[in-house]
Structure 1
Amino acid sequence: MNRETLVDPKTQKSNKVVAGVCAAFFAGMIGMAYAAVPLYAMFCKVTGYGGTTQRVDQYSDRVLDQKVTIRFDANTTGGLPWKFQPVARDMSIRIGETAQAHYTAANMFDKPTYGRATFNVTPELAGAYFNKVECFCFTDTTLKPGETLDMPVVFYVDPDIVNVPELKDVKTITLSYTFFPIEGVKPVAAAPQAGPIKTNDNTDGNLGG
């Protein structure tokens, strides 16, 4: 004798609700996955989390007597055939002082190659106080065969860094750039004009003279 299993209507409704919630949660997770990268990048730029430096349009209005050493690091990835390096490995500046450093990139290949740079600062917490006025980061760059390009970066360390307990005794900050290959032909961006700065040969000057 066959018996039919009767399902309580309330149980059926409850199962449908649970299934609906699960589907909505799954869809939401997919949406969050697509949004995670730009949201994370925005978060890093605002907070300096992960060693992300800050972009500013003006110079510091305070300069402290306290000094900090800035070290410069250069890397390439993805098989990009460039010789990429800082002109000077480090420089000592006063906190709040606007300074200029230079990197150079040379294409070692017999054809035009294309790259784009990302960056970070260590200690990571210092990223929120490392302000770049001008830089070559995230700019699509084309180098002809054998071409060498000068790449300046203008920056200062926010004086408020001395008010952060974890950073008040920091003596060295490292600015690191990594160039990776990209496709397509893009013009090399010209270096913008800037005001009086300290260069990495410890002399004052003007960008673009």
Structure 2
Amino acid sequence: MPQRLDPQALAKRNRRMLGGAFGVVFGMVGLAYASVPLYDLFCKVTGYGGTPMIGLAAPGAASEAEVTVRFNAATQPGLPWRFAAQQPAIRVKLGEEALAFYTARNSADAPATGISTYNVTPEVVGRYFHKVACFCFEDQTLTPGQSVDMPIAFWVDPRIAEDPVTRDIRTITVSYTFFRSLNDAERSGALANAGAHVGRATR
């Protein structure tokens, strides 16, 4: 004959099961909310997905090996700016800090504010491209007709030549896109591979 459970023991067991179920649900919800920033952090730490590494000083040229770094510029429709790279490409030695410039001009008759994102391609070089300073992820407001130079300081890790996956890569492309707001950038998907801001440097 089956043993009958005490009503209090049964109620206690049900409370434990209910608590466990709620714990699983809340854990899954928390993981869902955390997955995006955790993935973003993973990309920034590893360079995965073309996200440049940031904040490290250049060690100085480790060899005579060089790569070509190309510069792309784009502007979201609706932002009345002319935005372009001052140089289409430069040759840089591995391990040596380099400096390049973009120019932005407000062609409207009223102040206009933009904010930029960036990434590098091929995506596999993200871990070896170190951005020291640039103008990204900060609002830039230009008065009517105002033109400004926007520099980017960077270096390419010499280990790019030792990695079997990247050692034959001779050209890296750096792409900047100006949006009217970060919300616009997020809606466009541009933030997925973008790197973190490390310091404004405009003149």
What does the per-residue CA deviation read over 1:47-70, in whole Å, with 9 as the maximum and x for residues that have no partner? Answer: 111111122242223332222111
- TM-score, with normalisation over the residues of structure 1? 0.75
How many angstroms apart in 1 are the aligned matches of 2:122 and 2:14? 51
How many angstroms apart in 2 are the aligned matches of 1:125 and 1:52? 9
Q: Secondary structure at the match of 1:102?
A: strand
Higher relative helix content: 2
How many angstroms apart in 2 are the aligned matches of 1:190 and 1:17? 54
| Contact preservation (8 Å) 2:128, 2:157 | yes
Match of 1:85 in 2: 84
Task: Structure 1: state its 5+ residue gaps.
Answer: 1-6, 184-188, 193-207
How many angstroms apart in 2 are the aligned matches of 1:20 and 1:13? 11
Give the direction of change, closer, same or farther, for the CA distance of 1:47–1:57 in structure 2 (3 Å limit): closer
| Contact preservation (8 Å) 1:70, 1:172 | yes
Task: Structure 2: state its 5+ residue gaps.
Answer: 183-198
Give the direction of change, closer, same or farther, for the CA distance of 1:190–1:170 in structure 2 (3 Å limit): closer
How many angstroms apart in 2 are the aligned matches of 1:50 and 1:79? 28
Amino acid at match of 2:201: A
Match of 1:196 in 2: none
**What is the correspondence of 1:146-165 to structure 2 with a 5 Å cutoff?**
146-165=145-164
What does the per-residue CA deviation read over 1:111-141, in whole Å, with 9 as the maximum and x for residues that have no partner? Answer: 2121221111111121111111221121221
How many angstroms apart in 2 are the aligned matches of 1:28 and 1:144? 49
What does the per-residue CA deviation read over 1:28-65, in whole Å, with 9 as the maximum and x for residues that have no partner? Answer: 23222333333222222111111111222422233322
What does the per-residue CA deviation read over 1:93-116, in whole Å, with 9 as the maximum and x for residues that have no partner? Answer: 222222111111111222212122
Match of 2:110 in 1: 111
- TM-score, with normalisation over the residues of structure 2? 0.77
Aligned length: 183
Match of 1:191 in 2: 201
Q: Secondary structure at the match of 1:105?
A: strand
How many angstroms apart in 1 are the aligned matches of 2:21 and 2:200? 52
How many angstroms apart in 1 are the aligned matches of 2:114 and 2:17? 49
Q: Mean alpha-carbon deviation: is it higher for 54-63 or for 115-124?
A: 54-63
Match of 1:3 in 2: none
| Contact preservation (8 Å) 2:101, 2:151 | yes
Identity %: 47
Amino acid at match of 2:129: F
Match of 2:51 in 1: 52
Give the direction of change, closer, same or farther, for the CA distance of 1:25–1:157 in structure 2 (3 Å limit): same
Q: Mean alpha-carbon deviation: is it higher for 44-53 or for 69-78?
A: 69-78
| Contact preservation (8 Å) 2:62, 2:158 | yes
